[in-house]
Each structure stands twice: as structure tokens, then as C-alpha cells.
Amino acid sequence: MVTIESLLNTAALPDSPTPRLDAELLLAHILGKPRSYLRTWPERELDAAQLERYQAALVRRQAGEPVAYILGQQGFWSLDLEVASHTLIPRPDTELLVETVLALLPAAPAQVLDLGTGTGAIALALASERPVWQLTGVDRVPEAVALATRNRARLKLANANFVESHWFSALAGQRYQLIASNPPYIAVDDRHLAEGDVRFEPSSALVAGADGLDDIRLIIQQAPDYLEAGGWLLLEHGFDQATAVRGLLGARGFSAVESRRDLGGHERISLGRFESE
């Protein structure tokens, strides 16, 4: 007899930091039920098709594939987002960027840009909280733009739009009150690229040159051409890059430059305001 309880008790995920959680998420997804159902009905038996799907999902996780890619979805902010292997998996650390944007701008009409939007997580979280804002998300990967557009449609967030663009390349003549980005910021030789979930995520969304700052440098250099006077630029970056990013912002003429810490106490985002050239 193969029950929910027996499957969860025997799930073998030795390399996962959260084996029980992973098994519960996979099994709940196969059953089409919330995780609470697993605790309420531990004696429920799976049919042959469900068992086969669960075992196939477990094999993928044992090989290191992220749970979010196996499920095809990931929670971010208050949203459930479709995810796929050509985009980064949205992470809780990035919610700090959303919180900071919401605190910086008043709840009045504004044009806001999300650079390197991926799943659309940042743009859609902001669109859900500020219906009077107009959000534009750009990504150089056509599949990411299509994915973000599907997320927008499913969430019925008409105040967000997604465009294929390599950073600012398709935005000539546009101006924004605020630009936010979670760009690639990992150095090309960083050992973490060979560990954990990031092994399965697209390197183009992770790696940015020898020191991880190539894309951040480009964004900081070009952003003033697309900001309204007094507009803000906010950048997520690595835990040890805040000093360098603040220096880049200051050198480009941004004022009110500062960094904000995530829940782990790391300086995770840096920001600045640009008055005029």
C-alpha cells in the first residue's frame, strides 16, 4: 500500500537542504492539493499514474533540478508565477527591492521600468500594489518576455507591459520616475555557479564578467538618459558588492546613494537619485 505518509517518510533527497519540504511540494503538486492536505489525509493511497509522476519528479530533484522548475511555478510577493528554465527563479531576497520601490514613490501615477524582468516578478509585484503606476519590464530573451506576458495575463494586471530589449536598447526616448533591476552580478569564476539550484539556471541571467559588475556598470552609466529629473535607480547585487556599487553610483552623479540590508543582514540593494546632467 503506497500512501502519502509512506512516500514522504521514504523520499530520498540527500543533497537537498530541505528534503521534507521538497517532497511535500512535489507530492502536493502531483495531487493538485495544498500541502495541508498531506497532513490531513496521510493514509490516502496514490493511484499508479500519480505514483509514476511523483517518482519521476523525485528523480529530477535528486539530480539537482530546482523544485520551481519541476513544478513550473514559484511564489513571489503575493503572486504565484509561472517559471521556466530560461529565466531565473524569483527569490525572497528580491522582495526587498519591491518593498523599497513602494516606499520611495508615492501612490500617484508614475512610469516605472524593470530591467531584466525574467518572469516579470518585480514588475508584476509592483503592478499589483500600485494600480495607478504603469510598469514596463524588458528582457533580452524572447522566451522570458513571452513568459512574463503570460504571467501578466493570468494575474490580470493590465498596468504592466513587457518588451524585448537588451537593457535600454529598445527604449529610445522613454523616461521613467524609477528604474529597478535585479541584473546578473556573479563573477564568471565564482564557485557557487557549480553548486545547488544555480547549476540549472541560465548563466546569462547570473554571470557578469570578471568581477560580476559588468551589467551593473552599464546600467548605471546609461540609466540617467532614461530617468526623469529626480528619478531613482535601484539595483540588487551580491552581498559583498555594495561598496563598489555605491561608488559607481556616486561617480555617475547620483545623489542620496545608500544600500539596504536583507533579512540576513547583507547589503542586498543599492540606490541613488539623479537630478539632472
Cα angle: 180, vertex 77, 101; to 5 degrees: 30
What pLDDT is attached to residue 191?
A: 63
Instruction: Please state, for a pLDDT cut of 90, what percent of the chain lies above it.
Output: 74
- Residue 194: predicted pLDDT: 55
The predicted model gives 128-138 an average pLDDT of 98
Q: What is the mean pLDDT of the chain?
A: 91
Query: In this predicted structure, what is the pLDDT of residue 196?
Result: 65
Rounded to an integer, the average pLDDT of 122-146 is 97
Nearest in space to 137 (alpha carbons), one of 128, 153, 149: 149
Give residue limits of the domains in the chain. Answer: 4-64, 84-274
CA distance to 80, 100, 169, 216, 252, per residue, from 222 (Å): 32, 22, 10, 10, 9
Stretch 112-140: mean pLDDT: 97
What pLDDT is recorded for position 195? 62
Mean pLDDT throughout 50-56? Answer: 93
pLDDT tens, 141-200?
999 999 999 999 999 999 999 999 999 999 999 999 999 999 987 766 666 655 666 665
Q: What does the CA dihedral 137, 86, 213, 180 come to, rounded to 10 degrees?
A: 20
Longest dimension (CA), the chain: 72
Q: What is the pLDDT of residue 276?
A: 75
CA distance 222 to 217: 9
Residue 13 — very low, low, confident or very high, per pLDDT cuts 50/70/90?
confident
In this predicted model, what pLDDT tens digit does every residue of 85-109 receive, in sequence order?
A: 888 899 889 999 999 999 999 989 9
Q: What is the 3-state secondary structure (H, E, C) of the chain?
A: CCEHHHHHHHCCCCCCCCHHHHHHHHHHHHHCCCHHHHHHCCCCECCHHHHHHHHHHHHHHHCCCCHHHHHCEEEECCEEEECCCCCCCCCHHHHHHHHHHHHHCCCCCEEEEEECCCCCHHHHHHHHHCCCEEEEEEECCHHHHHHHHHHHHHHCCCCEEEEECCCCCCCCCCCEEEEEECCCCECCCCHHHHCHHHHHCCHHHCECCCCCCHHHHHHHHHHHHHEEEEEEEEEECCCCCHHHHHHHHHHCCCEEEEEEECCCCCEEEEEEEECCC
Give the pLDDT score at 140. 94
Domain range 84-274, CATH architecture: 3-Layer(aba) Sandwich (3.40)
Query: How many other C-beta atoms are found inside a 10 Å radius of the C-beta of residue 256?
Result: 13
Q: Dump pLDDT digits (tens) for 199-227.
A: 656 666 666 677 879 999 999 999 999 99
The answer, yes or no, to whether residue 116 has pLDDT greater than 90, is: yes
CATH of 4-64, one of 2.60.120.260, 3.40.50.2300, 1.10.8.10, 2.60.120.1060: 1.10.8.10
